[in-house]
Structure 1
Amino acid sequence: MEQTHTTRNGGPGLPGTQRRVLIVEDDPTIVDAIAARLRAEGFLVQTAPDGPAGVAAAESWLPDLLVLDVMLPGFDGLEVCRRAQARRPVPVLMLTARDDETDMLVGLGVGADDYMTKPFSMRELAARVHVLLRRVERATQAATAPAGGTLRLGELEIDHAQRRVRVRAQDVHLTPTEFDLLLCLAGTPRAVLSRETLLAEVWDWADASGTRTVDSHIKALRRKIGAGWIRTVHGVGYALETPTP
């Protein structure tokens, strides 16, 4: 396991901080490439080559974010994600060698916040790391802000300040990304938001290269709040609706 030393800045959007990123990946070439790019972005980096080492590093080093491969020796990245999230909430960017939507949905279901399929560009990976960390900062600020009102749409309740969601009076656990996506849709109920708009508002992406990411998160969100809440407008985007009884 390796620790690198960096200057005290967290890259763009994270001035004056030293963010910790743990990379759990068994391919040395990929590890070296990701670590080099994140060091250049100003992050403090540790690496782990397998599932057990990844869990141990997450518990002892307390990273601000995990970059986590799905296929790992020992036990897989899904189990690493489950165990890490059980100890403390931490944003997770999962990596997979397979373009498998089932893997993506399972990963999101166990607490991952975003997903990338190999091969990927280091530029895009670094951009997603920055976005995930900015989202955590926004969530922290919202949690410490004065309590605001709860947004209600039928039997759906969204508490912005506490970042809590209830459907039919039952709490629903959402990842930070899922919560931001639902909040974005709820801001203009029944209005259709394009995938490009959702990418810009939720992921801070300036281009449309991640539309599949939107689709996968919508599917994960539907599984948690119920399929009837989000309407698909084919070729356009999505809208939040009140389900028909």
Structure 2
Amino acid sequence: MTRVLLVDDDVDLTSMLSQYLVREGFDVSTVHDGEAGVSEAASNDYALVVMDIMMPRLSGIDALRRIRANSAVPILMLTARGDDIDRIVGLDLGADDYVPKPCTPGELVARIRAILRRTKTGERFDGSGNARALQAGYLMLWPGNRRATWRGEPLELTGTEFSLLEVLVRHSGQLVSKQEISLQAFDRPLARFDRRIDVHISSIRQKLGTRPDGQSWIQSVRGLGYQLLED
């Protein structure tokens, strides 16, 4: 069974979500503060962590920062705020997605499954027995095991960053709309005022550095989308 960790100080909500996830076939553990969430995420092998932002002892943002220092486990953030700052900061630190509260259990399960689909491991091979790779200039991606290299060196990416970069690599040299990126990377249409893609692209740009001319390897066309340059 797929193991999921729920971290939220709302005991009633956690209980309700846990029961629903169990019925959907997940193996669920729950804790109720950020400190316990960090400890539990580090000590056990979870496929995904669902974590609230507003919690006692340690906020979800600080807990996310600590988990990301040692683990690439997919993390889905829950937020009751309408404040975009928390959402953007959380994603910039390496969260894979967020769900505004209140949310239905069905929506949460759909988001969890979407994240697990795009972070699922398992080598894929071509006819010669070699793992299939995607290449765009200095960038190499192996979708089968979610591995990436840049100029021959390992490139550390979160699960969501890998999914976004995979879309751009598959359309290398072409302008890809943010709507299309959202559909291919997140399995859903882009919501109005949703800045997730912009935040993740900013993080990827920092990891790739700049071209010899000082420009980014990922070009943006305001209001339209992004384009990955090969050289």
TM-score (norm 2): 0.79
**SS of the counterpart of 1:31?**
helix
- 1:104 aligned to which of 79, 82, 87: 87
State the alpha-carbon separation in 1 of the partners of residues 130 and 69 from structure 2: 28
Whether 1:49 aligns to 2:38 is no
Which residue in 2 is equivalent to 1:165? 149
Match of residue 140, structure 1, among 122, 134, 156: 122
1:80 is matched with which residue? 63
* CA deviation string 1:34-77 (max 9, x = no partner): 22332232111111110121123223442211001122211122
Partner-residue secondary structure (3-state), 1:239: strand
Contact 2:92–2:199 (CA<8 Å) still a contact in 1? no
How many residues are paired up? 220
Report runs of 4+ in structure 1 exceeding 6 Å deviation.
Answer: none
CA distance in 2, matches of 1:235, 1:86: 34
Q: How does 1:3-42 map to 2 (within 5 A)?
A: 18-42=1-25
Query: What percentage of aligned pairs have identical amino acids?
Result: 37
1:66 aligns to what? 49
Task: Give 3-state SS (helix, strand or coil) of 1:95's partner.
Answer: strand
CA shift for structure 1 position 112 = 1.8
Q: Secondary structure at the match of 1:63?
A: coil
Which residue pairs with 2:135 in the alignment? 151
Q: Which amino acid aligns with 2:218?
A: I
List gaps (5 residues or longer) in structure 1. Answer: 1-17
- Alpha carbons of structure 1 residues 237 and 42: separation in structure 2 relative to 1, 3 Å: same
Distance 1:170 1:63 in 2: 28
For residues 194-241 of structure 1, give each alpha carbon's deviation from its aligned partner in whole angstroms, at most 9, with x where no partner exists: 223222221222x44485433332333334334722233333322223
Q: Which residue of 1 aligns with 2:212?
A: none
Measure the CA separation in 1 of the matches of 2:104 and 2:203: 25
**CA distance, structure 2, for counterparts of residue 110 and residue 40 of structure 1:** 31
Q: 1:51 to 1:201 in 2, by over 3 A?
A: same
- Separation in 1, partners of 2:52, 2:123: 30
Calculate the aligned-residue CA RMSD, in Å.
Answer: 2.9
Tell me if structure 2 keeps the 8 A contact 1:108–1:220: no
TM-score (structure 1 length as normaliser): 0.75
Unaligned runs of 5+ residues in structure 2 are 210-214
